[in-house]
Structure 1
Amino acid sequence: MPLRITTMTESFADQIMEWNYEPPYDFYNSEPDEEFRKELLECSYYAILDEEGQLFGFCCTGSSAQIPIAIPLGAYDEDLLDFGLGMKPESTGQGRGKEFLSFVLSSIAEIHNRQSFRLTVAKFNERAIRLYTQLGFSEVTSFDYGGTTFITMIKMPVSGL
Protein backbone atom coordinates (compact mmCIF):
# COMPACT_ATOMS: atom_id res chain seq x y z
CA MET A 1 0.00 0.00 0.00
CA PRO A 2 1.91 3.08 -1.19
CA LEU A 3 1.40 5.97 1.19
CA ARG A 4 2.26 9.63 0.77
CA ILE A 5 2.56 12.53 3.16
CA THR A 6 1.04 15.91 2.41
CA THR A 7 0.00 19.19 3.97
CA MET A 8 -2.95 19.13 6.35
CA THR A 9 -6.02 20.70 4.74
CA GLU A 10 -9.35 21.84 6.14
CA SER A 11 -11.04 18.81 4.61
CA PHE A 12 -8.55 16.37 6.18
CA ALA A 13 -8.80 18.14 9.56
CA ASP A 14 -12.60 17.89 9.46
CA GLN A 15 -12.40 14.17 8.64
CA ILE A 16 -9.98 13.50 11.53
CA MET A 17 -12.28 15.26 13.99
CA GLU A 18 -15.07 12.87 12.94
CA TRP A 19 -13.07 9.69 13.60
CA ASN A 20 -14.52 7.37 16.24
CA TYR A 21 -12.49 4.49 17.65
CA GLU A 22 -13.96 1.48 19.44
CA PRO A 23 -13.27 1.06 23.19
CA PRO A 24 -10.74 1.16 24.72
CA TYR A 25 -9.25 3.24 21.88
CA ASP A 26 -12.16 5.69 22.09
CA PHE A 27 -9.79 7.51 24.46
CA TYR A 28 -8.35 8.96 21.22
CA ASN A 29 -11.70 10.27 19.93
CA SER A 30 -11.99 14.02 19.72
CA GLU A 31 -15.03 16.19 19.68
CA PRO A 32 -15.17 18.49 16.68
CA ASP A 33 -14.10 21.83 18.07
CA GLU A 34 -12.46 24.90 16.65
CA GLU A 35 -9.41 24.72 18.95
CA PHE A 36 -8.46 21.21 17.80
CA ARG A 37 -9.20 22.13 14.17
CA LYS A 38 -6.93 25.16 14.50
CA GLU A 39 -4.16 22.98 15.97
CA LEU A 40 -4.44 20.50 13.09
CA LEU A 41 -4.21 23.30 10.53
CA GLU A 42 -1.69 25.65 12.14
CA CYS A 43 0.74 23.33 13.94
CA SER A 44 3.08 20.69 12.56
CA TYR A 45 0.46 18.17 11.41
CA TYR A 46 0.63 16.21 8.16
CA ALA A 47 -1.99 14.11 6.39
CA ILE A 48 -1.07 10.59 5.26
CA LEU A 49 -2.90 9.47 2.13
CA ASP A 50 -3.41 5.97 0.73
CA GLU A 51 -2.85 4.85 -2.86
CA GLU A 52 -6.22 6.31 -3.87
CA GLY A 53 -5.46 9.72 -2.34
CA GLN A 54 -7.85 9.12 0.57
CA LEU A 55 -6.98 10.10 4.14
CA PHE A 56 -5.40 7.10 5.85
CA GLY A 57 -3.87 8.76 8.90
CA PHE A 58 -1.94 11.72 10.18
CA CYS A 59 1.20 12.57 12.07
CA CYS A 60 2.53 15.55 13.98
CA THR A 61 5.95 16.58 15.18
CA GLY A 62 7.53 18.77 17.82
CA SER A 63 5.55 20.23 20.70
CA SER A 64 2.28 19.10 19.07
CA ALA A 65 3.34 15.54 19.96
CA GLN A 66 4.08 16.30 23.62
CA ILE A 67 1.82 16.33 26.67
CA PRO A 68 2.57 19.69 28.31
CA ILE A 69 2.23 18.44 31.92
CA ALA A 70 5.24 16.14 31.35
CA ILE A 71 7.61 18.91 30.25
CA PRO A 72 8.51 20.04 33.80
CA LEU A 73 8.84 16.36 34.77
CA GLY A 74 11.76 16.06 32.34
CA ALA A 75 10.02 13.66 29.96
CA TYR A 76 11.11 15.70 26.95
CA ASP A 77 14.54 16.98 28.03
CA GLU A 78 16.59 14.93 25.56
CA ASP A 79 17.00 16.48 22.10
CA LEU A 80 14.90 14.06 20.06
CA LEU A 81 12.21 14.58 17.43
CA ASP A 82 8.86 14.09 19.12
CA PHE A 83 6.10 12.76 16.92
CA GLY A 84 2.59 11.50 17.21
CA LEU A 85 0.39 9.64 14.77
CA GLY A 86 -3.10 8.37 14.23
CA MET A 87 -4.59 5.94 11.78
CA LYS A 88 -8.13 6.05 10.41
CA PRO A 89 -10.24 3.86 12.73
CA GLU A 90 -11.44 1.56 9.93
CA SER A 91 -7.82 0.73 9.10
CA THR A 92 -6.64 -0.18 12.61
CA GLY A 93 -6.16 -3.77 13.75
CA GLN A 94 -5.63 -5.04 10.19
CA GLY A 95 -1.86 -5.53 10.23
CA ARG A 96 -1.14 -2.20 8.54
CA GLY A 97 0.51 -0.53 11.52
CA LYS A 98 4.09 -1.52 10.76
CA GLU A 99 3.96 -0.15 7.24
CA PHE A 100 2.22 3.03 8.46
CA LEU A 101 4.69 3.67 11.28
CA SER A 102 7.69 2.89 9.06
CA PHE A 103 6.38 5.33 6.46
CA VAL A 104 5.81 8.06 9.07
CA LEU A 105 9.31 7.58 10.50
CA SER A 106 11.03 7.74 7.12
CA SER A 107 8.94 10.77 6.09
CA ILE A 108 9.56 12.84 9.20
CA ALA A 109 13.23 11.82 9.25
CA GLU A 110 13.56 13.30 5.77
CA ILE A 111 11.48 16.42 6.51
CA HIS A 112 13.33 17.22 9.75
CA ASN A 113 16.72 15.66 8.92
CA ARG A 114 16.62 13.66 12.18
CA GLN A 115 17.18 10.01 13.06
CA SER A 116 16.37 9.99 16.81
CA PHE A 117 12.69 9.88 17.73
CA ARG A 118 10.45 10.00 20.79
CA LEU A 119 6.74 9.33 21.14
CA THR A 120 4.25 9.41 23.98
CA VAL A 121 1.60 6.71 24.23
CA ALA A 122 -1.11 5.76 26.71
CA LYS A 123 0.13 2.72 28.63
CA PHE A 124 -3.12 0.81 28.07
CA ASN A 125 -2.50 0.89 24.30
CA GLU A 126 -0.62 -2.41 24.30
CA ARG A 127 -1.25 -2.95 20.59
CA ALA A 128 0.63 0.24 19.70
CA ILE A 129 3.39 -0.38 22.26
CA ARG A 130 4.02 -3.84 20.75
CA LEU A 131 4.37 -2.24 17.32
CA TYR A 132 6.69 0.49 18.58
CA THR A 133 8.86 -2.10 20.32
CA GLN A 134 9.04 -4.21 17.15
CA LEU A 135 10.36 -1.17 15.28
CA GLY A 136 13.11 -0.47 17.82
CA PHE A 137 11.51 1.85 20.37
CA SER A 138 12.18 1.38 24.07
CA GLU A 139 10.37 2.78 27.09
CA VAL A 140 12.12 5.61 28.91
CA THR A 141 9.73 7.12 31.42
CA SER A 142 6.12 7.19 32.53
CA PHE A 143 3.81 9.78 34.03
CA ASP A 144 0.14 10.13 34.93
CA TYR A 145 -2.19 12.73 33.50
CA GLY A 146 -5.97 12.94 33.74
CA GLY A 147 -6.27 9.46 35.23
CA THR A 148 -4.21 7.86 32.45
CA THR A 149 -0.64 6.60 32.60
CA PHE A 150 1.50 7.59 29.63
CA ILE A 151 4.92 6.35 28.64
CA THR A 152 7.56 7.95 26.47
CA MET A 153 9.50 5.71 24.13
CA ILE A 154 12.61 6.51 22.12
CA LYS A 155 14.30 5.14 19.02
CA MET A 156 17.92 6.00 18.43
CA PRO A 157 19.86 5.35 15.23
CA VAL A 158 21.81 2.13 15.14
CA SER A 159 25.48 2.98 15.35
CA GLY A 160 27.87 1.15 13.06
CA LEU A 161 30.86 -0.78 14.35
Structure 2
Amino acid sequence: MQLLVRDMTEEYAKQILTWKYEAPYDFYNNEESAESLTELLENPYYAVLNQDHELLGFLCIGSAAQVPFGSTVGAYNEDLQDIGIGMDPAITGQGFGTPFFTFILSYIQETYQLDSIRLTVAKFNQRAIHLYTKLGFVKKVEFSRNTTEFLTMVKHF
Protein backbone atom coordinates (compact mmCIF):
# COMPACT_ATOMS: atom_id res chain seq x y z
CA MET A 1 0.00 0.00 0.00
CA GLN A 2 1.32 3.39 -0.97
CA LEU A 3 1.03 6.19 1.57
CA LEU A 4 1.16 9.95 1.05
CA VAL A 5 1.71 12.92 3.35
CA ARG A 6 -0.37 16.01 2.69
CA ASP A 7 -0.87 19.32 4.45
CA MET A 8 -3.60 19.25 7.06
CA THR A 9 -6.88 20.66 5.78
CA GLU A 10 -10.01 21.62 7.66
CA GLU A 11 -11.76 18.58 6.18
CA TYR A 12 -9.05 16.18 7.40
CA ALA A 13 -8.89 17.88 10.81
CA LYS A 14 -12.64 17.62 11.31
CA GLN A 15 -12.52 13.94 10.39
CA ILE A 16 -9.70 13.28 12.89
CA LEU A 17 -11.64 15.02 15.66
CA THR A 18 -14.51 12.54 15.21
CA TRP A 19 -12.31 9.46 15.69
CA LYS A 20 -13.30 7.45 18.76
CA TYR A 21 -10.99 4.80 20.17
CA GLU A 22 -12.12 1.93 22.38
CA ALA A 23 -10.91 1.74 25.99
CA PRO A 24 -8.18 2.00 27.13
CA TYR A 25 -7.16 3.90 23.98
CA ASP A 26 -10.07 6.32 24.43
CA PHE A 27 -7.42 8.38 26.24
CA TYR A 28 -6.52 9.55 22.71
CA ASN A 29 -10.04 10.70 21.80
CA ASN A 30 -10.19 14.35 20.81
CA GLU A 31 -12.77 16.89 21.73
CA GLU A 32 -14.68 18.26 18.75
CA SER A 33 -14.18 21.95 19.45
CA ALA A 34 -12.94 25.10 17.76
CA GLU A 35 -9.82 24.94 19.95
CA SER A 36 -9.02 21.36 18.86
CA LEU A 37 -9.58 22.29 15.22
CA THR A 38 -7.25 25.27 15.57
CA GLU A 39 -4.60 23.01 17.16
CA LEU A 40 -4.60 20.74 14.11
CA LEU A 41 -4.65 23.56 11.57
CA GLU A 42 -2.20 26.04 13.09
CA ASN A 43 0.54 23.63 14.16
CA PRO A 44 2.72 21.35 12.02
CA TYR A 45 0.17 18.54 11.60
CA TYR A 46 0.04 16.54 8.38
CA ALA A 47 -2.50 14.08 7.01
CA VAL A 48 -1.39 10.57 6.02
CA LEU A 49 -3.44 9.20 3.13
CA ASN A 50 -3.56 5.96 1.20
CA GLN A 51 -3.23 5.76 -2.59
CA ASP A 52 -6.97 6.46 -2.91
CA HIS A 53 -6.50 9.70 -0.93
CA GLU A 54 -8.42 8.33 2.07
CA LEU A 55 -7.32 9.63 5.47
CA LEU A 56 -5.57 6.90 7.48
CA GLY A 57 -3.80 8.94 10.11
CA PHE A 58 -1.73 11.99 10.89
CA LEU A 59 1.66 13.06 12.09
CA CYS A 60 2.85 16.16 13.88
CA ILE A 61 6.30 17.49 14.55
CA GLY A 62 7.93 19.86 17.00
CA SER A 63 6.44 21.04 20.27
CA ALA A 64 2.93 20.04 19.07
CA ALA A 65 4.08 16.43 19.61
CA GLN A 66 5.07 17.03 23.23
CA VAL A 67 2.99 16.66 26.37
CA PRO A 68 3.15 20.26 27.67
CA PHE A 69 3.65 19.21 31.30
CA GLY A 70 6.75 17.23 30.30
CA SER A 71 8.73 20.43 29.80
CA THR A 72 8.26 21.35 33.45
CA VAL A 73 9.90 18.10 34.59
CA GLY A 74 12.79 18.09 32.12
CA ALA A 75 11.44 15.42 29.74
CA TYR A 76 12.41 17.52 26.73
CA ASN A 77 15.74 18.97 27.88
CA GLU A 78 17.65 17.14 25.16
CA ASP A 79 17.57 19.16 21.92
CA LEU A 80 15.70 16.74 19.65
CA GLN A 81 12.88 16.99 17.12
CA ASP A 82 9.64 15.48 18.41
CA ILE A 83 7.12 13.51 16.44
CA GLY A 84 3.57 12.43 17.18
CA ILE A 85 1.32 10.12 15.22
CA GLY A 86 -2.27 8.99 15.21
CA MET A 87 -4.07 6.35 13.21
CA ASP A 88 -7.75 6.00 12.34
CA PRO A 89 -9.19 3.74 15.07
CA ALA A 90 -10.92 1.67 12.38
CA ILE A 91 -7.51 0.31 11.34
CA THR A 92 -5.65 0.09 14.67
CA GLY A 93 -4.69 -3.29 16.11
CA GLN A 94 -4.71 -4.93 12.68
CA GLY A 95 -0.98 -5.09 11.95
CA PHE A 96 -0.89 -1.85 10.00
CA GLY A 97 1.18 0.03 12.62
CA THR A 98 4.56 -1.15 11.34
CA PRO A 99 4.15 -0.11 7.68
CA PHE A 100 2.35 3.10 8.73
CA PHE A 101 5.03 4.24 11.16
CA THR A 102 7.92 2.98 8.99
CA PHE A 103 6.59 5.19 6.19
CA ILE A 104 6.33 8.18 8.55
CA LEU A 105 9.87 7.66 9.83
CA SER A 106 11.17 7.52 6.25
CA TYR A 107 9.23 10.66 5.37
CA ILE A 108 10.58 12.52 8.42
CA GLN A 109 14.16 11.41 7.71
CA GLU A 110 13.97 12.42 4.03
CA THR A 111 12.25 15.73 4.73
CA TYR A 112 14.17 16.91 7.79
CA GLN A 113 17.52 15.04 7.58
CA LEU A 114 17.55 14.33 11.33
CA ASP A 115 20.12 12.33 13.30
CA SER A 116 17.60 11.50 16.05
CA ILE A 117 13.92 11.79 16.77
CA ARG A 118 11.87 11.63 19.98
CA LEU A 119 8.27 10.70 20.73
CA THR A 120 6.12 10.63 23.85
CA VAL A 121 3.71 7.80 24.61
CA ALA A 122 1.37 7.00 27.48
CA LYS A 123 2.92 4.10 29.43
CA PHE A 124 -0.28 2.06 29.38
CA ASN A 125 -0.06 1.90 25.57
CA GLN A 126 2.06 -1.24 25.44
CA ARG A 127 0.92 -1.93 21.87
CA ALA A 128 2.53 1.34 20.69
CA ILE A 129 5.62 0.91 22.89
CA HIS A 130 6.16 -2.55 21.39
CA LEU A 131 5.97 -1.06 17.87
CA TYR A 132 8.32 1.81 18.71
CA THR A 133 10.86 -0.56 20.29
CA LYS A 134 10.67 -2.85 17.26
CA LEU A 135 11.48 0.14 15.03
CA GLY A 136 14.55 1.13 17.04
CA PHE A 137 13.29 3.55 19.68
CA VAL A 138 14.75 3.31 23.19
CA LYS A 139 13.13 4.42 26.43
CA LYS A 140 14.48 7.64 27.90
CA VAL A 141 12.46 9.72 30.38
CA GLU A 142 9.39 8.79 32.41
CA PHE A 143 7.05 11.37 33.94
CA SER A 144 3.52 11.57 35.29
CA ARG A 145 0.73 14.08 34.92
CA ASN A 146 -2.18 13.51 37.28
CA THR A 147 -2.91 9.77 36.95
CA THR A 148 -1.26 9.26 33.54
CA GLU A 149 2.33 8.10 33.20
CA PHE A 150 4.27 9.02 30.07
CA LEU A 151 7.48 7.83 28.49
CA THR A 152 9.74 9.55 25.99
CA MET A 153 11.54 7.33 23.49
CA VAL A 154 14.38 8.24 21.11
CA LYS A 155 15.53 6.76 17.81
CA HIS A 156 18.92 7.48 16.25
CA PHE A 157 19.04 7.23 12.48
Fold-level match, TM-score > 0.5? yes
Q: CA RMSD in A?
A: 0.8
Measured in 1, the distance between the counterparts of 2:52 and 2:103 equals 16
Measured in 2, the distance between the counterparts of 1:146 and 1:29 equals 18
Q: C-alpha offsets along residues 28-67 of structure 1, whole Å, 9 cap, x if unaligned?
A: 0011011110010010000000121000000000000011
C-alpha deviation, 1:114, in angstroms: 1.1
The equivalent residue for 1:61 is 61
The equivalent residue for 2:21 is 21
Number of residue equivalences: 157
What amino acid sits opposite 2:120 in the alignment?
T
Measured in 2, the distance between the counterparts of 1:156 and 1:144 equals 25
The equivalent residue for 2:143 is 143
The equivalent residue for 1:83 is 83
C-alpha deviation, 1:150, in angstroms: 0.4
**TM-score (norm. length: structure 1):** 0.95
The equivalent residue for 1:30 is 30
C-alpha deviation, 1:120, in angstroms: 0.3
The equivalent residue for 1:109 is 109
Measured in 2, the distance between the counterparts of 1:93 and 1:127 equals 8
C-alpha deviation, 1:113, in angstroms: 2.1
Measured in 2, the distance between the counterparts of 1:18 and 1:87 equals 12
What amino acid sits opposite 2:46 in the alignment?
Y
C-alpha deviation, 1:111, in angstroms: 2.2
Q: C-alpha offsets along residues 81-111 of structure 1, whole Å, 9 cap, x if unaligned?
A: 1000000000101101000111111112222
Secondary structure of 1:119's partner?
Answer: strand
**TM-score (norm. length: structure 2):** 0.97
The equivalent residue for 1:120 is 120
Unaligned runs of 5+ in 1: none
The equivalent residue for 2:71 is 71
- Of all paired residues, the percent bearing the same amino acid is 52
C-alpha deviation, 1:146, in angstroms: 2.8
Answer with 69-78 or 51-60: which moved more: 69-78
Secondary structure of 1:72's partner?
Answer: helix
Secondary structure of 1:71's partner?
Answer: helix
The equivalent residue for 1:40 is 40
What amino acid sits opposite 1:131 in the alignment?
L
